[in-house]
Amino acid sequence: MTAHPILDVRGLHKRFGDHHVLKGIDFTVEPGERVAIIGGSGSGKSTFLRCLNFMEVLSEGEIRLDGTRIGLERKGTVTYPEKQLCQVRERLGMVFQQFNLFPHMSVLDNVMEGLVTVKGLPKPEARRIAEAELAKVGLTDKHSAWPGRLSGGQQQRVAIARALSMQPEILLFDEPTSSLDPELVGEVLRVIKQLAEEKRTMLLVTHELGFAYHFATKVIFLADGVFHEVGTPDEVLKTPSKPRTQDFLRRFGEFAF
Amino acid sequence: MEYSWDFGPVLERFDMLALGLLNTVKIAAVSIVLGVLVGLVLAMMRLSPRRWLSVPALVFIEFYRNTPPIVHFFWFFYALPVMLAVSLDPYAAAVLALSTQSGAFYAEVFRGGIVSIERGQWEGGRALGMTHAALMRRVIVPQAISRMVPPFIERSFELLKTTALASTLAYADLLYQAMMVNAETFRPLEVYTTIALMYLVLLVTASQLARLAEARLTAYQ
């Protein structure tokens, strides 16, 4: 155990106008942890993940990355300088439900983009890293393809390679298989599983409860903007203690562990 | 009614019309370049979150969208000199009118292209740690440009046709030169038919070139 968690969230609130989505969340992540976040649609699980790398700005609360507070507090108001947010996002890789690849760049250029533009690496070195990441997700033969010509599963694997290329300390997956055809889900989950075997620190928002059970070291059931139940996969998914969790799992139907 | 067509006197003065065509192309080209600059500035102001930048740009754009082009020509030629106590020659006044009015429309074309890019593209870049400026340069603008091309071309054709209004300021464009030829030949049917065909050839040629440019800029789609 390290002296402090890699990610430390205190009193996180998020409001969209009058809509109070997240109502005071405390949360820590230790290096090597794999956290699955589950919950009904509209429960705020994606919003929670998106707050961590400031895709959404917090309404209240604070986040520490490796012990360092993100944002500057002056006279009670917190500002988030662009430079600091960029550094934070560089350290937290994110994979989106809709992939968000850059359609005007080839697959290889998509993966090289962050390395060249953000990290300032020379192109040959960026290319070497990008090729290695693409090999890892099994897309060596697609370097020069346009993203729009790939299947959803392939696009998501490119997106994972793009996130990995930055050597992030934590990976955030926001429903990475939710927009895929059923037959393409497996290839993406296999890549994520492989990353789990490498002991990477990861947070996964998902509806794939069966996968979450095998993937996670910790499962969080989010409901009504709070962490309703937190525990090991067995505790939360097999023997949930709270009626609300039991109800959610029952409504989700049968799934095999 | 019998009318005997005779293009002879008009074609004898074809050099006058050719000069007019050249002046039309010249004023259009200069006004497109300046209009793009005006449009870029206005579009950036409109996209700014600062209201003291976006509101004046909006007022400027709405002013031009809701007033007749010929009024702008008259204003720059007859009104502005009174205000500044300097006189503008017809060419300068016409360029000012054309480039500001096209700038107002180009601004909406540019802004429309930028805001049409999906939120996911911004997020994809931001999640990598890209700054706003880098994101604009590498991700947003390159994609926006290909979406701007068709409306940009459309607007430039409008500008090309609007140059004919410069003749009202006695700028020697194609229409003005035609009026001169008509005054000498008294052959309005032949003169105005000839320049209509000249405008047609000019615009069709330009649209072919534009189509080539468009194909290149949208290759990835």
| Kind and range of the H or E run holding A25 | strand A19-29
CB within 8 Å: B128 and A118: yes
Residue A124 CB partners (closer than 8 Å, separation 6+): none
| Mutate: best of B128, B143, B216, B218, partner A, most A CBs <10 A | B128
Architecture of domain B8-217: Orthogonal Bundle (1.10)
B127 vs chain A: nearest CA distance in angstroms?
A: 5
Q: Stretch B12-30: mean pLDDT, rounded? A: 95
Domain that holds residue A245: 7-251
Instruction: Report pLDDT digits (tens) over B83-102.
Output: 988 889 999 999 999 999 99
Q: Is B170 left (phi over 0), alpha (psi -120 to 50) or beta?
A: left
Helix B141-162 and helix B90-115, axial crossing angle in degrees, nearest 10: 150
Q: Chain B within 8 Å of A168 (Cβ-Cβ)?
A: no
Whether A238 is in a domain gets the answer yes
Asked if residues A211 and A181 have their Cβ atoms less than 8 Å apart, the reply is no
Q: Is the ipTM value over 0.95, yes or no? A: no
| pLDDT at residue B211 tops 90 | no
Whether A2 is in a domain gets the answer no
Number of independent structural domains in chain A: 1
Of A87, A94, A117, the CB nearest to B134: A117
In 3D space, the residue among B183, B190, B194 whose CA is nearest the CA of residue B17 turns out to be B194
Whether A20 is in a domain gets the answer yes
Whether A1 is in a domain gets the answer no
Give the pLDDT of residue B221: 58
Give the pLDDT of residue B216: 78
In 3D space, the residue among B157, B55, B153, B42 whose CA is nearest the CA of residue B107 turns out to be B42
Q: Stretch B112-125: mean pLDDT, rounded? A: 96
Asked if residues A139 and A110 have their Cβ atoms less than 8 Å apart, the reply is no
Whether A257 is in a domain gets the answer no
Asked if residues A206 and A177 have their Cβ atoms less than 8 Å apart, the reply is yes
Which residues of chain A from 40 to 99 reach within 8 Å of chain B, CB to CB? 53, 55, 82-83, 86-90, 92-94, 96, 98-99
Residue B217: pLDDT band with limits 50, 70, 90: confident
**Can you spell out the DSSP letters for A188-199?**
HHHHHHHHHHTT
Render each residue's pLDDT in chain A as its tens digit; 257 residues: 456 799 999 999 999 999 999 999 999 999 999 999 999 888 899 999 999 999 999 999 999 999 899 999 888 888 999 999 999 999 999 999 999 999 999 999 999 999 999 999 999 999 999 999 999 999 999 999 999 999 999 999 999 999 999 999 999 999 999 999 999 999 999 999 999 999 999 999 998 999 999 999 999 999 999 999 999 999 999 999 999 999 999 887 655 55
Mean pLDDT score of chain B: 93
Q: Is A11 left (phi over 0), alpha (psi -120 to 50) or beta?
A: left
Nearest CA in chain A to B131: A86
Q: Where are the domains of chain B?
A: 8-217
**Can you spell out the DSSP letters for B6-65?**
--HHHHHTHHHHHHHHHHHHHHHHHHHHHHHHHHHHHHHHHH-S-HHHHHHHHHHHHHHH
Measured distance CA(A169)–CA(A67) in Å, rounded? 14
Q: Stretch B117-127: mean pLDDT, rounded? A: 96
A113 vs chain B: nearest CA distance in angstroms?
A: 9
Identity at A70, one-letter amino acid code: I
Residue A186 half-sphere exposure toward CB, CA atoms < 13 A: 2
- CA-CA-CA-CA torsion sign (B67, B69, B72, B74): negative
Measured distance CA(A91)–CA(A82) in Å, rounded? 14
- The domain that holds A40 is classified in CATH as 3.40.50.300
